[in-house]
């Protein structure tokens, strides 16, 4: 018993698996678990500055601050009765042997990624069933396994099954089924062909086209709007580029619901909970008070909009000291109509919409407002993003037009100067100009 208690104490804050690894390989950054000083719950500029200057690492509060509405789950039990009743009609229940066969005995070359949760493997199953299929046939899936000693991970596993077992939307990744057998905990997802938005923005030499960025932003916004707008609202709590997966058509789907939380209902304004997530994305007021609202997700969405706009990570220690935190660096540019074009990802060159960049900058600015009540709802964000999809006012066309007009003006000016020169010669060569009498 004492051993179990000791394990729970040392477990700390579970490092969230980036489901970008499901498709695009393991993360290249290592995150340490560190505590957030909670000397004061007063939200002020000084505290915000300390938050903005924090490093990019998974968040966890000290033990004494963990009193929250989060209900622990006994890791030795099966799914909670409520969750089991909700999902048993929705999800397939796999045996461990079936998933072992589907992934080729969990072969190393089938590993798609690794995170705090465990490994993610690529596998194949038969259509409309749980039986394993030969590689390249049937349905391609991503199988996520929980480390056997992950107490905190079990809680996240249960949350994932509970939420995705009930929530269905085109912009949420589909959870196909699960396996819970002895100490084995696995989840089976649809396989997302193009991996995560993080991979496309930061790990590829070819820049993600502007039109695709706008499409992804709109899809992700629709996913969050769906979560917030239900009769039982859900706060995602871990919105970031690595958790936005893409299918073959660049349709965005939110993944990894291990940190999702039921939102406030009735006359409640917030949910008090332990502070988890990733620095650089989490809303400052949530980090400092533990008060969680839908507007916490809106702040995170604003950070992702900035990443889409700039091609920069939310936190990047490789950049100069004044540019390491994206929000802190970009805000002065967002507030100045003459400067926000300087934020655009230079790899795009001039292949972006002028009006689109303007609107995205404005939207990011209000999403990142210090006052959470001033931030828009996700429904309002969806409405703002929708008309941007069809804009064709590319900066490169505008620049070409300016160069063409400039060339025409120069050509016209050169022509006028030549005409003036010829006219002057004609006048100088005239007998009237020479002062001599003109004789017939």
Q: What does the pLDDT look like over 359-378, one tens digit per residue?
A: 999 999 999 999 999 999 99
Mean pLDDT over 130-149 rounds to 89
Among 190, 210, 238, residue at a domain's last position: 190
Q: What pLDDT score was predicted for residue 297?
A: 96
Q: What pLDDT score was predicted for residue 373?
A: 94
Same domain for 427 and 371: no
> Which region among 11-15, 48-52, 152-156, 189-193 has the lowest average model confidence (pLDDT)?
11-15
Same domain for 237 and 344: yes
- Say how many CA atoms lie within 13 Å of 244 toward its Cβ: 28
- What gap in Å lies between CA 86 and CA 77, rounded to an integer? 17
Same domain for 229 and 184: no
Q: Is the pLDDT of residue 45 over 80?
A: no
Report the 10 Å Cβ neighbour count for 48.
17
Q: Is the pLDDT of residue 31 over 60?
A: no
Q: What pLDDT score was predicted for residue 440?
A: 47
Q: What pLDDT score was predicted for residue 331?
A: 94
How distant, in Å, are the alpha carbons of 58, 305, 354, 366, 390 from that of 15? 6, 24, 39, 30, 39
- Say how many CA atoms lie within 13 Å of 287 toward its Cβ: 27
Same domain for 298 and 410: no
Mean pLDDT over 396-402 rounds to 67
Same domain for 101 and 176: yes
Confidence of residue 65 (pLDDT cuts 50, 70, 90): very low
Residue 440 located in a structural domain: no
Q: What pLDDT score was predicted for residue 345?
A: 96
Q: Is the pLDDT of residue 66 over 50?
A: no
Pairing assessment for the beta strands 261-262 and 252-254 based on DSSP bridges = unpaired
Q: What pLDDT score was predicted for residue 183?
A: 83
Q: What pLDDT score was predicted for residue 294?
A: 93
Name the more confident of 372 and 44. Answer: 372
Q: What pLDDT score was predicted for residue 5?
A: 46
Q: Is the pLDDT of residue 210 over 90?
A: yes
Contact 141, 102 (CB under 8 A): yes
Q: What pLDDT score was predicted for residue 349?
A: 92
Report the CATH number that the domain containing residue 169 is assigned in CATH.
3.30.200.20
Same domain for 150 and 22: yes
Q: Is the pLDDT of residue 4 over 50?
A: no
Q: Is the pLDDT of residue 261 over 60?
A: yes
Q: Is the pLDDT of residue 244 over 80?
A: yes
The total number of structural domains in the chain stands at 3
Report the CATH number that the domain containing residue 268 is assigned in CATH.
1.10.510.10
Residue 439 located in a structural domain: no
Pairing assessment for the beta strands 92-93 and 175-181 based on DSSP bridges = parallel
- Average pLDDT value over all residues in the chain: 77
| Strand, helix or coil for residue 342 | helix
Listed in sequence order, the residues at least 6 apart from 320 whose beta carbon sits closer than 8 Å to its beta carbon are: none
Same domain for 129 and 257: no
Name the more confident of 60 and 364. Answer: 364
Instruction: Tell me the backbone φ, ψ of residue 58, rounded to 5 degrees.
Output: -65, 145
Mean pLDDT over 226-240 rounds to 92
Mean pLDDT over 214-219 rounds to 98
Name the more confident of 201 and 276. Answer: 201
Residue 88 located in a structural domain: yes
DSSP letters, 193-227, are: TT-BHHHHHHS-SSPPPHHHHHHHHHHHHHHHHHH
Residue 276 located in a structural domain: yes
In whole angstroms, how large is the CA radius of gyration of the chain?
A: 28
| Strand, helix or coil for residue 14 | coil
Among 190, 221, 253, residue at a domain's last position: 190
| Strand, helix or coil for residue 71 | coil
The parent domain of residue 415 ranges over: 401-434
Range with top average pLDDT, 115-124, 174-183, 210-219, 329-338: 210-219
Residue 342 located in a structural domain: yes
Same domain for 105 and 40: yes
Pairing assessment for the beta strands 291-292 and 271-272 based on DSSP bridges = antiparallel
Same domain for 159 and 240: no
Same domain for 203 and 101: no
- What gap in Å lies between CA 29 and CA 254, rounded to an integer? 21
What is the reported pTM? 0.75
Mean pLDDT over 311-325 rounds to 95
Q: Is the pLDDT of residue 17 over 70?
A: no
Contact 240, 279 (CB under 8 A): no
- Any known ligand binding at 373? no
Instruction: Tell me the backbone φ, ψ of residue 184, rounded to 5 degrees.
Output: -90, 130
Confidence of residue 404 (pLDDT cuts 50, 70, 90): low
Contact 371, 335 (CB under 8 A): no
Mean pLDDT over 266-289 rounds to 81
Q: Is the pLDDT of residue 437 over 90?
A: no
Same domain for 357 and 407: no
Contact 375, 366 (CB under 8 A): yes
Q: Which residues are catalytic?
A: 238
Name the more confident of 68 and 317. Answer: 317
- What gap in Å lies between CA 187 and CA 178, rounded to an integer? 4
Percentage of residues of the chain with pLDDT beyond 90: 49
How distant, in Å, are the alpha carbons of 112, 146, 239, 245, 246 from that of 24? 7, 19, 18, 10, 11
Q: What residues pair up with 172 in beta bridges, in sequence order?
A: 254
Q: What pLDDT score was predicted for residue 230?
A: 86
- pLDDT tens digits, residue range 158-193? 888 989 888 999 999 999 999 998 888 999 999 999
Same domain for 166 and 22: yes
Nearest to 175 by CA among 187, 159, 157, 193: 187
């Amino acid at each position: 018993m004492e051993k179990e208690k000791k394990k729970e104490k040392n477990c700390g804050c579970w490092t969230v698996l980036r489901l970008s690894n499901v498709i695009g390989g393991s993360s290249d950054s290592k995150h340490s678990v560190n505590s957030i000083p909670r000397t004061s719950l007063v939200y002020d500029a000084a505290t915000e500055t300390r938050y903005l200057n924090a490093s990019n690492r998974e968040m966890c509060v000290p033990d004494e601050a963990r009193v929250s509405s989060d209900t622990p789950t006994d890791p030795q039990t099966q799914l909670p009765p409520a969750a089991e009743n909700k999902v048993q009609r929705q999800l397939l229940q796999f045996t461990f042997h079936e998933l072992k066969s589907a992934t080729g005995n969990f072969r190393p070359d089938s590993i798609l990624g690794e995170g705090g949760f465990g490994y993610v493997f690529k596998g194949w199953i038969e259509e409309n069933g749980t039986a394993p299929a030969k590689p390249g046939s049937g349905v391609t899936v991503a199988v996520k396994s929980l480390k056997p000693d992950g107490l905190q991970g079990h809680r996240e596993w249960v949350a994932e099954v509970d939420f995705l077992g009930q929530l269905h939307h085109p912009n949420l990744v589909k959870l196909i089924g699960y396996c819970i057998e002895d100490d084995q905990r696995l989840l089976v997802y649809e396989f997302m062909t193009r991996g995560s938005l993080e991979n496309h923005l930061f790990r590829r030499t070819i820049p993600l086209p502007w039109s695709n960025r706008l499409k992804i932003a709109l899809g992700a916004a629709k996913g969050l709007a769906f979560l917030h707008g239900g009769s039982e609202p859900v706060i995602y709590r871990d919105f970031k580029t690595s958790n936005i997966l893409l299918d073959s058509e660049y349709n965005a789907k939110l993944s990894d619901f291990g940190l999702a939380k039921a939102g406030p209902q009735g006359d409640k304004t917030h949910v008090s909970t332990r502070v988890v997530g990733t620095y650089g994305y989490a809303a400052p007021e949530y980090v400092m008070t533990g008060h969680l609202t839908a507007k916490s997700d809106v702040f995170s969405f604003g950070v992702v909009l900035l990443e889409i706009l700039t091609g920069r990570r939310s936190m990047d220690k490789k950049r100069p000291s004044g540019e390491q935190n994206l929000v802190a660096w970009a805000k002065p540019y967002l507030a100045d109509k003459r400067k926000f074009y300087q934020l655009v990802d230079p790899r795009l060159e001039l292949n972006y919409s002028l009006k689109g960049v303007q609107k995205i900058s404005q939207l990011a600015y209000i999403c990142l407002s210090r006052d959470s009540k001033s931030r828009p709802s996700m429904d309002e964000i969806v409405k703002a993003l929708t008309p941007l999809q069809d804009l064709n006012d590319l900066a490169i066309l505008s620049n070409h037009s300016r160069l063409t007009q400039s060339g025409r003006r120069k050509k016209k000016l050169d022509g006028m100067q030549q005409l003036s020169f010829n006219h002057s010669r004609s006048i100088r060569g005239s007998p009237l100009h020479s002062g001599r009498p003109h004789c017939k």
